[in-house]
Amino acid sequence: MKNKFSLWSVLAFVLAANFAIAQSVSGVVSDAGSGDALPGVAVSEKGTNNATLTDFDGKFTIKAEKGATLVFSSMGMESKEVTASSDFIQVSLTASASQLDEVVVTALGMTREKKSLGYATQDVDGAEVTTVKDANFVNSLSGKVAGVQIKSSGTLGGSANVVIRGSSSLTGNNQALFVVDGMPISNSTGNSSDIARGRGGYDYGNAAMDINPEDIENISVLKGAAATALYGSRASNGVVLITTKSGKSSKGKKTLGVTVSTGITVGAINQNTFVRHQQSYGPGYGRFYGGSYITTAPGDSTFTDGRAQSYDANGDGQADIALPMGEDASWGLAVDPSLDVYDWESIFPELDTYQQYKKHVAAENGALSFYEQSVTRNNNFAIDGGGENTSFRLSATSFDQKGIVPGSHIGRDNIAFSGRFNASDKLTVSAKANYINQNGKGRYGTGYDSRNPNQAFRQWYNVLTDMDAQRNTYNNFGQKNYSWNAYGY
């Protein structure tokens, strides 16, 4: 009987232990602020790998002994430990103090939660427009904001049109309004109507290009029509809202920071995408008009019309061939390596090549040799600091860009200062000042213009011209018209 009693005692103990281990705790987890159920909350038994997740209704069930410590954690919420004092418990979690909703600047320094806005907006960090320096920082926004079209003139220091969600007017202005620290800036240009019609002229840029990208902290693009209420009818095409950098104050602490940056960008024309010129025919319109300008006039050593003609250039009594020097096309005499010809380098006594002939072949240094390497330099220095009630920032930037066209250059100096003083909890005094000095030289024209080399190389050009010889002649004799188009205009 003694052994039998002991056996039943052991069985009873095992069953009791299994019952205790198999015990489960259920409950519901909710948001302490709104009272809504929280799905996906991790529920784990402290000190073990025993864990589960709340379902869509915030409910959970976990196998744990009564009195075990359960840990509740979820992203954006404060973790909480609860003792399982009963089979069913209710737990509420509070939002983490470090969690911040995304906010955007809307108008006059006001910030609002992005999700509360009644119109579309998109942010661009200031660092994204300083990676690659450009004379017009607006070009750096291209491809960074959905629904925003950036149309650049492609010229050195030229303007950039910013159109948000397409054009809304056939004849009016479709430009977005720029607002810098609450100050509206028009992005319209002072370009002539000829530039707008593609007839040519100089594009001197627009006001937005004077903004220094090194001073930009954040860019918000307000796309909806409701944004008009913030800035009036001028903002009917959208707003590019720019917030500049400022010093940061620290309660009870004095701070001082110095930022120095420098950058060099080098660029050149890609020969694979450059315009391809035919090199089978020399200068002139002869073949265009169905014939050739080669004539028989031995002994004629004058260039009355600049057209290709047979003449005695060196006085040996033999007829020589002179190529046209007054026609800006390349549809004349067929290129022939066995043919000796005289061109513009043969007629100027000041040149070493005077009265010397050359082979009628393609130039060794073609149109691509005309362009130079572009070099952009940008140097920035900034100092900022603050105290318990004050903050300031002072920055100076020097931008210098050498264009791909010989003699072209754009330079800009920016100095910016901002200061802030918290006089009381309800009164803050702030001031900002900017100095901008921009200068340019050798801007190249746009559209159908003799000052636009890109257009000239596609239409009015002698493809056999050696650009190195042309450059050397220009540098040696300055303004004189010692060129392949000596008899032209």
Spatial separation of the C-alpha atoms in residues 355 and 339, rounded to whole Å: 16
268-285 pLDDT, tens per residue? 888 888 888 898 988 887
pLDDT of res. 70: 92
What are the C-alpha distances in Å from 103 to residues 78, 121, 246?
22, 11, 18
pTM over 0.75: no
**What is the spatial distance between Cα 323 and Cα 332, in angstroms, rounded to a whole number?**
9
**Whether the predicted pLDDT of 411 surpasses 80:** yes
User: What pLDDT is attached to residue 412?
Assistant: 93
Q: What's the mean pLDDT in 100-106? A: 52
From its phi and psi, is residue 165 left (phi > 0), alpha (psi between -120 and 50) or beta?
left
Confidence of residue 226 (pLDDT cuts 50, 70, 90): low
Task: Identify the CATH homologous superfamily for domain 103-244.
Answer: TonB-dependent receptor, plug domain (2.170.130.10)
**Inter-CA distances, 396 with 130, 214, 244, 384, Å:** 15, 9, 14, 12
User: Is the Cβ–Cβ distance between 131 and 140 less than 8 Å?
Assistant: yes
Q: Strands across the sheet with 309-311, in order?
A: 309-311, 320-322, 336-342, 358-360
For 362-396, the pLDDT digits (tens) are: 999 999 999 999 999 999 999 998 888 889 999 99
The arithmetic mean of pLDDT across residues 457-477, rounded, is: 89
Whole-number pLDDT of residue 371 = 92
Are 463 and 330 spatial neighbours (Cβ–Cβ below 8 Å)? yes
Decide if pLDDT at 289 tops 70: no
Which is more confidently placed, 175 or 397?
397
First to last CA, the chain: 132
Pick the CATH number of 21-93 from 3.40.630.30, 2.60.40.1120, 2.60.40.10, 3.90.800.10: 2.60.40.1120
Is residue 108 scored above 90 in pLDDT?
no
pLDDT over 80 at 19, yes or no: no
Whether the pLDDT of residue 103 is over 60: the answer is: no
Q: What percent of the chain has pLDDT over 90?
A: 20
| pLDDT reported for residue 106 | 54
Q: Are 327 and 284 in contact (CB under 8 A)?
A: yes
* Nearest in space to 325 (alpha carbons), one of 307, 300, 349, 350: 307
Q: Amino acid identity of 140?
A: S
* Residue in this structure with the two tokens 């409701």, named with its chain if needed: 226
Is pLDDT larger for residue 476 or for residue 100? Answer: 476
Provide the CB-side half-sphere exposure for 179 (13 A, CA).
Answer: 23
Distances (CA, A) of 24 to 27, 44, 216, 402: 10, 13, 58, 76
Q: Which residues share a beta bridge with 411?
A: 400, 439
pLDDT digits (tens, 9 = 90+) for 136-163: 788 888 878 777 888 887 788 888 888 8
Q: Is the pLDDT of residue 479 over 70?
A: no
Residue 159 vs residue 21, higher pLDDT: 159
Looking at per-residue pLDDT, the higher value among 113 and 483 belongs to 483
> Does residue 196 have a pLDDT over 80?
no
Q: Which of 112-121, 236-245, 279-288 has the highest mean pLDDT?
A: 236-245
Domain ranges of the chain: 21-93, 103-244
Quick one: average pLDDT of 284-302?
A: 47
Q: With bands split at pLDDT 50, 70 and 90, how would you rate the model's confidence at 295? A: very low
